[in-house]
Each structure stands twice: as C-alpha cells, then as structure tokens.
Amino acid sequence: MKRQSLLAASLLLAALPAHGGTTVTGLDEPQISVTTDSGWRVRSSMYVWTTRLDGDITVHGRTAPVDVDFADIFDSLDFCFMGLVEVGKGRWSLMTDLFYAKLSTSNSTPRAIFDTEIEQFIGNFAVFYQAYECEHGGIDVYGGARVNWMETDLSISLPKRTVSASGGQTWVDPIIGLRCHRDLGDKFFVRALGDVGGFGVSSDLTWQAMIALGYRVNDHTSLALGYRALGTDYTSGDITYDVTSHGLLLGLDYQF
C-alpha cells in the first residue's frame, strides 16, 4: 500500500508544472536559438564626381594641355564608372575604390589646336586601421596602392600640317594616408580623407584629398556631398602625365 502511494505521489509531482526551478523544454515545443553578430561590416558606395581637369599630357614628344572645365565635362565625357566597397571587422578594413572614364577634349592656342582622347582607370586599394576612436568619431590610418592605366591619342593641328601620337601606360604607386569621421548629431556627419604617394617608385608624386558632409537617411543608407581632388605627376620614357582632377562629389552609401 505504501509502495502504491509513493508511486502515485511521484506521478502526480511529475505532472505538476514547476514554478521555482528550471524547466526542460519538451520536444514538441518551439526552440529559440540565439545568434551573435559576426562583427563583419560592409559598406558600398556609388558616386558621381564632376571633375575638372588641369595639366599636361606628353606622348612621344608631343605635349597637349588638358583643360576641361565643370561646364564642359559632360560634353567631353563619353563614359564613366565610379564606386567603392569596404569590408571590415574590428579595427581593420579593406577598401577598393574604382574610377574609369573615357573623354575627349579640345584646346586651342593662337598657333595650334589640340585634340585629346583619354581613356583612364584609377584603382585605389588600401588597408585601414582605426588608430583612434571616441563617442562621436574616429581616425583611421591606411596604406596601399594606386593603380593607374591610361590610353591617350593626341592630334595637334598646326597652320601647315597635323601631327598625331598615341600611347598607353600602366603604373602602380604606393600610398599612405589618414581618414577622419565625426558625427554632428544623429543625422549629420563629416568625413575627410587625404593621402600622398608615389615617392619616385612610379610617379614622382601622387596625392588625394576629400571632404564631405553626410546625412543618414536611415540606419543603413546615407548621402554625402563634398569635394575631391586627385593629382598625379608621372613620367616614363616618352610619356608624361601631369594632371589634377578636382570637383564636386555626390555619393550614396549603403552599409550592412
């Protein structure tokens, strides 16, 4: 009798819900799994850079001035593509920034008319390290390479004759730089970037500077309006490229 009573009590206790201890989820109850953030972040950007070109290009001893104003850039531009992707984790990130353009320019002096067709690719590849961080921003140092590819056709019309020259070149310059970010409240921010390179490895000098004011549309999307300048002074054999590109920059960022 006592044994039957103990067995009945045990079955009754097993059937009662537990209020003060740990419960075991039944096989027929939904399971809840908790995942942690991997820490990876990705930022992609498409931008429009309304550049003005100032400088000179020399191909096989023929030198032509390159002077394209903001008002003429869309008339001279045949095709362009601009965009960047940055992938990071923790304090480190890797960025690829690509620029491709094909344009035709015409300049004249009292003695000659210079017609120039330029096809150019610029790729910035850099590794960033966040050296300083505070509540409202931070400073990154970076190093990497700037890859240039250029194909140029020159035609110089003189009073009695016309001369032409064509040439192409690819070169790579090391670069080092700084990038700063500062929040201006919940919606607005300022971003600035500057680098220098070349050091005689390929170009005598290459440099870049950019500053932009940004606006966060939401947690993932932002817009930025700024100014960017990029200069290169490169000479190799019969080719010289000494040109500065600068102008307004409008970008759309998406981060996840």
- Confidence band, pLDDT 50/70/90 cuts, at residue 74: low
Q: Is residue 143 part of a domain?
A: yes
Q: Is residue 1 part of a domain?
A: no
What's residue 199's pLDDT?
A: 97
Mean pLDDT to the nearest integer, 242-255: 94
pLDDT at 13 over 50: no
* 170-194 residue pLDDT tens: 999 999 999 999 999 999 999 999 9
pTM of structure: 0.79
For residue 217, the cross-strand partners are: none
The identity of residue 167, as a single letter, is G
Q: Is residue 20 part of a domain?
A: no
What's residue 37's pLDDT?
A: 60
Look at the chain and report how many structural domains it folds into. Answer: 1
Q: Is residue 7 part of a domain?
A: no
Closest CA to 231 of 242, 223, 221, 222: 242
- Confidence band, pLDDT 50/70/90 cuts, at residue 73: low
pLDDT at 163 over 90: no
Q: Is residue 125 part of a domain?
A: yes
For 202, other C-beta atoms within 10 Å of its C-beta total 22
CATH number at residue 94: 2.40.128.90
pLDDT at 24 over 50: no
Q: Is residue 211 part of a domain?
A: yes
What's residue 146's pLDDT?
A: 98
What's residue 187's pLDDT?
A: 96
Cβ-in-10-Å burial (0-12, 13-18, 19+) of 81 comes to exposed
Beta pairing class for 137-157 and 113-134: antiparallel
Q: Is residue 220 part of a domain?
A: yes
Residue 74, helix vs strand vs coil: helix
Who has greater pLDDT, 159 or 89?
Answer: 89
Mean pLDDT to the nearest integer, 214-240: 95
Q: Is residue 13 part of a domain?
A: no
Q: Which residue segment(s) compose the domain that 92 sits in?
A: 42-255
- Confidence band, pLDDT 50/70/90 cuts, at residue 45: very high
Residues 253, 132: Cα–Cα separation, whole Å: 23
